Amino acid sequence: MLHNTHAHTPRAAWGGRPLAAAAAPLLIARLAAGGGDPWADAVIVYTAGEGANPSYLDADTTVGPPERMTGEGVFPGVVSPFNPPFGVDEIVSIGRGGTLVVRFDEPVTDDASNPFGVDLLIFSNAAFIDAAYPSGIVSGVFSANGGVVELSPDGVDWWLVPGVPADGLFPTLGYLDAGPYDAEPGRVTSDFTRPVDPTLTAADLDGLDHTQVVEHYAGSGGGAGIDLAAVGLATVQFVRITNPTDAESDIQIDALADVSPTTIAGDVTGDGVVDFVDLVTLLAAWGRCPAPPETCAADLDGSGVVNFTDLLLVLANWTG
């Protein structure tokens, strides 16, 4: 079932403690190294299945990054754990017996330096039920409809991922400084290549407000996390998501991402060292950050301003 909670009343921007917005430097580092982007690159197979929503049959929506804004032109709002993507150009529906197979151009590897050991993320249309709309109070999970995940290094032989549904925890978070239903984008983006702590459960989050959920996400943009080690694979390039024939509903998928390794605080460029290049990059960006969608990698503390706090992070973590 498609979850379609529209944004109605803009909420006050999040004012919690600073979090480092690491997504931009990590992506820049990947591209600079010639490693490509971290998103799924192509749809290999899509079978809609029985009961798929006829408005959501474009599987190519799963190629590229997850959504940060949804409902543009209708009910615009940030993508948050309470307001998932619902546009026809944002998610694909997989009905009973349906299948989606996507390919990564660059292999996803089992990397022990990834946060929590998680290597792959799947973003869906799942959302938290708001017990006190529009306050954003978690009261269970809506539209977490399951889905079987399998992985393959070659697209021929497949390994089942146990215990991780494709459409479930953790709902997507687009911005760290926006309210649950804000109509305008935030200034501080979440990291779509960083997983939420997989030891967290729905029960741990139940009753929390939006600000507390953001704090538990710790900079992550959400997604269902998969550790390749649990499957016994060193690398994969293909992901298959299947909705069982006896499923109660269709499932909706937004995107997939290759997790980035943990980075060093103060590493503005994301190259694994904190040195003169980071210092010069930070000084060149000194002052207030530009408005979205432009990024602000030198704003290490997520305050919206590149200042002495960010400079101290570089100096305190200097590796030379």
Asked if residue 268 lies in contact with residue 314, where contact means CB atoms within 8 angstroms, the answer is yes
pLDDT at 273: 80
Q: Are 289 and 170 part of one and the same domain?
A: no
pLDDT at 28: 46
pLDDT at 19: 36
Q: Are 259 and 157 part of one and the same domain?
A: yes
Assign residue 293 the CATH number of its domain.
1.10.1330.10
From CA 12, how far away is CA 16, in angstroms rounded?
12
Residue 24 lies in a domain: no
Ordered strands of the 148-152 beta sheet: 42-47, 99-109, 235-242, 148-152, 159-160
Neighbours of 17 (CB within 10 A): 8
In the listed set 248, 263, 278, which residue is the last one of a domain according to the structure? Answer: 263
Q: Are 141 and 273 part of one and the same domain?
A: no
pLDDT at 2: 54
Overall number of domains in the chain? 2
Residue 81 lies in a domain: yes
Residue 58 lies in a domain: yes
Domain of 301? 264-320
In the listed set 245, 263, 281, which residue is the last one of a domain according to the structure? Answer: 263
Q: Are 166 and 312 part of one and the same domain?
A: no
Residue 239 lies in a domain: yes
Q: Are 207 and 288 part of one and the same domain?
A: no
Q: Are 175 and 268 part of one and the same domain?
A: no
Give the residue ranges of the chain where pLDDT is below 70: 1-35, 271-272, 293
In the listed set 244, 263, 282, which residue is the last one of a domain according to the structure? Answer: 263
pLDDT at 320: 75
Distance of CA 69 to the CA centre of its chain: 12
pLDDT at 272: 67
Q: Are 167 and 302 part of one and the same domain?
A: no
pLDDT at 36: 78
Q: Are 178 and 304 part of one and the same domain?
A: no
Length of the chain: 320
Q: Strands 92-94 and 251-258: what pairing?
A: antiparallel
pLDDT at 32: 40
Nearest to 309 by CA among 266, 269, 270: 266
Residue 13 lies in a domain: no
Q: Are 302 and 182 part of one and the same domain?
A: no
Q: Are 250 and 268 part of one and the same domain?
A: no
pLDDT at 263: 72
- Mind listing the pLDDT tens digit for each residue in 19-76? 333 344 444 444 444 457 999 999 999 999 999 999 999 999 999 999 999 999 999 9
Q: Are 107 and 59 part of one and the same domain?
A: yes
Residue 5 lies in a domain: no
Q: Are 154 and 293 part of one and the same domain?
A: no
pLDDT at 164: 95
Residue 277 lies in a domain: yes
Question: Residue 15 forms beta bridges with which residues?
Answer: none
Residue 20 lies in a domain: no
Model confidence, pTM: 0.76
